[in-house]
Chains A and B, each alone.
Chain A
Amino acid sequence: MGIEQKLGNMGVVTTTLEQVVNWSRTRAMWPMLFGLACCAIEMMAAQSADYDMSRFGMELMRASPRQSDLMIVAGRVSRKMAPVLRRLYDQMPSPKWVIAMGDCCSCGGVFNNYAVVPGVDTVVPVDVYVAGCPPRPEALVHGILTLYDKVSQEKLVQKES
């Protein structure tokens, strides 16, 4: 009796606007193809049939930054590539998130020299770091689920500085 029963029968769900927005943002996040080096091969393996990523809504990897919301930086970022990375990040429309996949883009990895940028978080702000060299596809999936948890707790009215 009362409004709960009536609504349930009519197939209506009540929730907050924030939850709906976060739910929809996570369920169909399109990643941008940013495979640079060895981690890209494990990202392709995560895309393939054994560790399917399309069950998270990431069926397609959009090549164009204008049509994607997630940038998975997979592989080592060299000093020649860093401006290109920043330009592509600027071209993505917000809301956008970044996963740093692998050791080389999290902290420089095995390489500590003139050619590799030690950690991509000096170029773009990173949300989730996935460790491993290269991380197993299951580790990448775990990173994506961690990102989903993070997104589902985001507030709607928040100054994005």
Chain B
Amino acid sequence: MFEPKMDISVDELRHLLSERAEKGETMVLNMGPQHPSTHGVLRLLLELDGEVIVRCLPDIGFLHTGIEKNMEIKRFDQALVMTDRMDYLNNLGNNLCYCLAVEKLVDLDVPPRARVIRVLLAELQRIASHLVFLASHGLDLGAQSVFLYCFREREVILDLFEMVSGARMMTSYIRPGGVWRDLPDGFEDAVRDFLKGIHRRLDQYHALLTKNPLYLQRTKGISAITPEDALDIGLTGPLLRATGMSYDLRKEMPYSGYEEYEFDVPVGTTGDVYDRYIVRMEEMKQSTRIIEQALAKLEPGPFRSANRKFVPPPRSELGRSMEAVIHHFKLWTEGYPAPEGSVFVAVESPRGELGCFLEGDGGPKPYRVHFRTPSFVAVQALPHMAPGHLVADLVAIISSLDPILGDVDR
């Protein structure tokens, strides 16, 4: 039923490869979808002159899941479950982006305690995502102990997520109107314990790679890029900040109360692989600062909006109030209607700018939802960054771009 068939013919690619390929001076190789260093199912067509790359063409779509079309047949709250699976290292961040868009569309309020919880969890997710970046970056360059250390830290964070929502990765904890349920007892102490240990561990990670002469030789000067070129390609997030331009959506267009927190935005100089690594390491430190401030800001209060037209009532109320039963019934059978109109909301994910374009049509289902994902654009930067480098450098470049193929293909 699924026989292997040949794919893109050379004729379609003739205008993208250089003329030397036709003469036979260079060879066109396939760095296939199944490869240990491509961070997922990314296919690269490399035109090689010996070991130097002349052209590099990414071929994506091997993880295309049709999430955008599938969300159109589900109600707003049901469609939230699918956003977890898009950028699967930034689950709570995806939830946050979608929920902000839904709240903007239907004009729903969010109580202050929920805003603080959202910031706290989003920053924990950012640290977890950067830890996986560090683990796979080290693994690609041959430093396997970094992989084991980083995953050990990530287990602590995943335990925190499990304490809060019951699931390690696909939490769906941030919902339109606030969060799903209140923080359990012992959560704040667990976060404080985590913060106590993370500073020492971050220094250990610095000691492993930052001044290592082997690491410096492999990463300094590789694929340096200017801010103007980065903006032309469409890069955002740590990739843009490593080139020297300080643009962080949490500071420039704050959401969910980020304007009340004090943190710095680390900036690099040349935009090469080493600067991107340093920017992400510093971002982890700044995230711990934000988490400390968020813990101090937590005050007792409601954790989800009280607007019963959009948010289901708690089960304790169902036994006492008739309106609660009616609201519950209506939400579960029909869902809540969204006005006609479209909104666009952008948040800062660990990979860059994650945007959600949401359009309603008066019904209970999103008419069109589109996610502007950062990895989709980052992978398209490879044709600009790779030429002139060796294949081994390409591995370092790909891991520094930190693409997540679920984000790329949706």
Contacts and interface: CB of A to CB of B under 8 A. Distances in A.
Interface string B63-87: 1111101100000000001100100
B152 A50 contact: yes
A156 interface: no
Contact of A33 (B36, B61, B65, B69): B36
Given A49-B151, A110-B82, A113-B69, A37 B63 contact: yes
Interface size for chain B: under 10, 10 to 19, 20 to 34, or 35 or more residues?
35 or more
B132 A41 contact: yes
A84 B132 contact: no
Interface string B1-21: 111110000000000000000
Contacts of A78: 61-65, 409
B371 to A, nearest CB: 15
B166 to A, nearest CB: 12
Nearest to B66: A115
B142 interface: no
Contacts of B89: 41
B402 to A, nearest CB: 13
A58 B31 CA distance: 25
Interface size for chain A: under 10, 10 to 19, 20 to 34, or 35 or more residues?
35 or more
Interface string A132-143: 011010000000
Interface string B145-175: 0011001101100100000000011100000
Given A84-B34, A86-B3, A110-B81, A38 B406 contact: yes
Contacts of B48: none
A82 B33 CA distance: 11
Contacts of A113: 65-66, 69-70
Nearest to A109: B85
Nearest to B147: A48
B168 to A, nearest CB: 7
Interface string B38-52: 001100000000000
Contacts of B4: 83-84, 86-87
Interface string A34-54: 111110111011001110000
B151 A44 contact: yes
B255 interface: no
A159 interface: no
By CB atoms of chain A within 10 A, which of B34, B62, B67 has the most?
B34
A110 B85 contact: yes
Contacts of A111: 65-67, 70, 82
Contacts of A122: 1-2
Contacts of A80: 61-62, 64
A7 interface: no
B62 A84 contact: yes
A39 to B, nearest CB: 9
Contact of A40 (B40, B151, B152): B40
Interface string A14-35: 0000000000000000000111
A122 B3 CA distance: 12
The 4 closest A-B pairs by CB, nearest first: A48-B151, A115-B66, A38-B88, A63-B36
Interface of B: 1-5, 32-36, 40-41, 61-67, 69-70, 81-82, 85, 88-89, 132, 135, 147-148, 151-152, 154-155, 158, 168-170, 405-406, 409
Given A48-B155, A134-B170, 11 more contacts: A36-B63, A38-B170, A40-B40, A78-B409, A81-B62, A83-B5, A84-B32, A84-B33, A85-B2, A110-B82, A113-B69
30 contacts: A33-B36, A36-B40, A36-B405, A37-B88, A38-B170, A38-B406, A40-B40, A41-B89, A44-B135, A50-B151, A50-B152, A63-B35, A63-B36, A76-B65, A78-B61, A81-B41, A81-B63, A83-B3, A84-B32, A84-B34, A84-B62, A86-B2, A88-B34, A110-B82, A111-B67, A111-B70, A111-B82, A113-B65, A116-B65, A122-B1
